[in-house]
Structure 1
Amino acid sequence: MVDRNPYREDRGPSLVAPIVTAIAGFGLGLWAARRRPRPRTIANTGSPERAASRRAWATAEEIQGRFSDEASRGFMRRAIANARKAGIEERTGWPFGAVIVDRDGEIVGDGSNHVFANHDPTAHGEVQAIRAACAALKTINLEGCILYSSSEPCPMCLAAAYWSGIDGIVFGALADDAAAINGFGDAFLYSEIAAPPAARELPVVDLLRDEAVAVLREYQSQPGESP
């Protein structure tokens, strides 16, 4: 089988420490941001302002017990059907799909991978489902919802789930399954995220920081809430 992903590599225990370090650093940065005065508030959003708040996150047990086994299996089968649609039936992208389910057990967003059809490398099934749910509910805050994904989300989709504010994620196939069967390995990305910018394979260079910071300060000085 031809490896479709040039960055494919097996996951190993060595990735755990850098990932934990990256998450810890992210959390510390949010805490520091929270300590600074913020005259401008951000409403109705899964933004840094909300991410830094003391939210009472749902537990894995609460996510598993929110719906009956029959209902949960139905949601997952819908996500798997979306994966089949994307990769086999309609061939819009890779074989990954997802759904967003609200607290009442209603599917508010369907997503199937559309990276080929949309010429968009970010159009993963989970991202498509999040976009659909936000559009349907007219919000960027999906607190109270659960994401069901046919496969374990990649780093980008995991980050999108955090930004959306959903309560939890339920997935079918492991990332290791997708890597072993199809060559969809994402361990490289986890390593890159955990590494300091100067050590990453993708060059990252800063430019015109003062001018960019001026816009941030001007935005922060405005009264009222964002749209």
Structure 2
Amino acid sequence: MDDVDLRHLRRCVELASEALEAGDEPFGSVLAAADGTALAEDRNRVALGDRTRHPEFELARWAVANMTPGERAAATVFTSGEHCPMCAAAHGWVGLGRIVYASSSEQLAAWLAELGVPAPPVRTLPIQEVVPGAVVEGPVPGLDDQVRDLHRRLHGTS
């Protein structure tokens, strides 16, 4: 993990904070080209009722519309939280490259249990259980604490 990776991950946490400020769940993602250039970014947009509006899913759609298969394979998806199974599958189906996340699904599940939040309707799984060949890095100490704080704020326990 280098300075460019950390810059993109910090932006993901900023996007997650923006999502929270907009009344949504705190998740944010950045899609970067092989040279580290940010190509697209998004934040969670599930508050209006469409639970598929995760930023990782939106970036997978964007990648198909705007990148060649080779460019997708060389790209990196940075995200504040490890992909859910839906987003991991989208990532695998469109052939995106490396995934770097600030906090893991395992951490999120523990935080939500600690906060007394009911489990989500879809089981959390590590990305590699959904996409066995995925190259994955995370969580990132320090940034994971920031993501945890966002979830505490979401659930009224900051």
| Superposition TM-score, scaled by structure 1 size | 0.47
Unaligned runs of 5+ in 2: 130-158
Equivalence for 1:115: 46
Cα offset, 1:186, TM superposition: 5.8
Higher relative contact order (CA 8 A, sep 6+): 1
Q: CA deviation at 1:156?
A: 0.7
Which of 23, 30, 33 aligns to 1:102? It is: 33
Distance 1:168 1:133 in 2: 14
Residues 26, 44 of structure 2: 8 Å contact kept = yes
SS in structure 2 opposite 1:104?
A: coil
> Residue 95 and residue 184 in structure 1: after superposition, are their counterparts in 2 closer, same or farther (change >3 A)?
farther
Preserved contact between residue 79 and residue 148 of structure 1 (Cα < 8 Å): yes
Which residue of the other structure, out of 68, 85, 90, is the alignment partner of 2:22?
90
Pairing 1:79–2:12 present? yes
Deviation at 1:188, TM superposition (A): 5.5
Deviation at 1:105, TM superposition (A): 1.1
CA contact (8 A) 2:75 2:98 kept: yes
Which one has the largest radius of gyration? 1
Which has the larger strand fraction? 2
After TM superposition, the runs of 4+ consecutive aligned structure 1 residues lying more than 3 A away are 132-135, 138-141, 182-188
Alpha-carbon offset, residue 166 of structure 1: 1.2
Residue 148 of structure 1: SS of its match in structure 2?
strand
Aligned identity (percent) is 30
Helix, strand or coil for the counterpart of 1:109? strand
What's 2:146 paired with? none
TM-score (norm 2): 0.66
- Please list the CA deviations of residues 130-153 of structure 1 after superposition, one character each: whole Å capped at 9, or x if unmatched: 233444x25577221111110111
User: How many residues align structurally?
Assistant: 121
| 2:30 counterpart letter in structure 1 | V
CA distance in 1, matches of 2:120, 2:47: 19
Partner residue of 1:143 out of 69, 73, 88: 73
Flag the 1:104–1:85 CA change in 2: closer, same or farther, 3 A: same
Matches within 5 A, 1:193-212: none
Q: CA RMSD in A?
A: 2.6
Q: For the structure 1 residues 174 and 184, does the alpha-carbon distance in structure 2 shift closer, same or farther, using more than 3 Å as the test?
A: farther
* Partner-residue secondary structure (3-state), 2:39: strand
